[in-house]
Structures are given as C-alpha cells and as structure tokens.
Amino acid sequence: MAASKQEWLIIVSDHPNMLDKRLEIRPKHLEALTPHVKSGTVAFGGSTLDSPLKDNERMQSNGSAMIILAESEKEARGIVEGDIYAKEGVWDVGSLQIWPFKSAVRQPL
C-alpha cells in the first residue's frame, strides 16, 4: 500500500542580488512547474517580497513559498532542489525550510 500524500509548506530564500536572474529564468521555472501544478503536486506557490507591491514599481522578491503534495519530505525536497531556480543559484537551498502542513482553506486567485 502506497503512503498517503502529505502537504508540505516550503519556504526558501533567494541568494542576495538575484532578482534580475530570477526574472530572466522565470518563464522556464513556470514552464517546468506546469506539470506539477496540473497534477496537483504543487498546490500553491509564489514569491516572498521585501515589501508590498505598489503600482508601477518592480517587485522586490527575496525568496519563495509553496505547498507541495508529496509522500515524504524527501520527495518534496527533491522537487525544490530539481527546480531551475535551485540549479541556477537563485534559491539558497541551504535556507530551505520544510514543514508538514494541513490546509484549512484554499481558494483560487
């Protein structure tokens, strides 16, 4: 019998001064995430910010937060570590925090 899937809350910081690189490779990051989103493996994800967004100002991202549905922490970690942001040095994988999580409410944008 396969283990049941667990939600994992992921927080990972960017290395300093990575905003330009993050934005440059973002299309590849999102393209690679598409199958994980369609399968329900990635239930939520986005940038963490230095300050709230303001009209006509560039976002100041400092990392990412996401919810991954996986059978183990190791599986969730593998998804993060296999991402282009990790491979290209945008994310500081050494800062990676993973917690078992249970969503109480989830709504689409």
Q: Would you state the pLDDT for residue 1?
A: 40
Tell me how many degrees the CA angle 73-101-36 measures, rounded to the nearest 5. 60
Predicted TM-score (pTM) of the model is: 0.89
C-alpha distances in Å from residue 13, one per residue of 25, 29, 73, 74, 109: 16, 16, 18, 19, 24
In a domain, residue 17? The reply is yes
Tell me if 107 is assigned to some domain.
no
Q: Answer yes or no: is pLDDT of 2 > 70.
A: no
User: pLDDT (tens digit, 9 = 90+) per residue, 50-101?
Assistant: 999 998 888 899 999 999 999 999 999 999 999 999 999 999 999 999 999 9
Q: Please tell me the predicted confidence (pLDDT) of residue 69.
A: 97
We report the CATH number of the domain holding residue 32 as 3.30.70.1060
pLDDT digits (tens, 9 = 90+) for 34-53: 999 999 999 999 999 999 99
Q: Is residue 1 part of a domain?
A: no
- What's the total number of domains in the chain? 1
> Within 10 A of 86 (CB to CB), how many other CB atoms are there?
17
Tell me if 5 sits within 8 A of 71, measured CB to CB.
yes
Q: Is 70 exceeded by the pLDDT of residue 3?
A: no
Backbone region of residue 58 per phi and psi (left: phi > 0; alpha: psi in -120 to 50; beta: other values): beta
Whether the pLDDT of residue 29 is over 50: the answer is yes
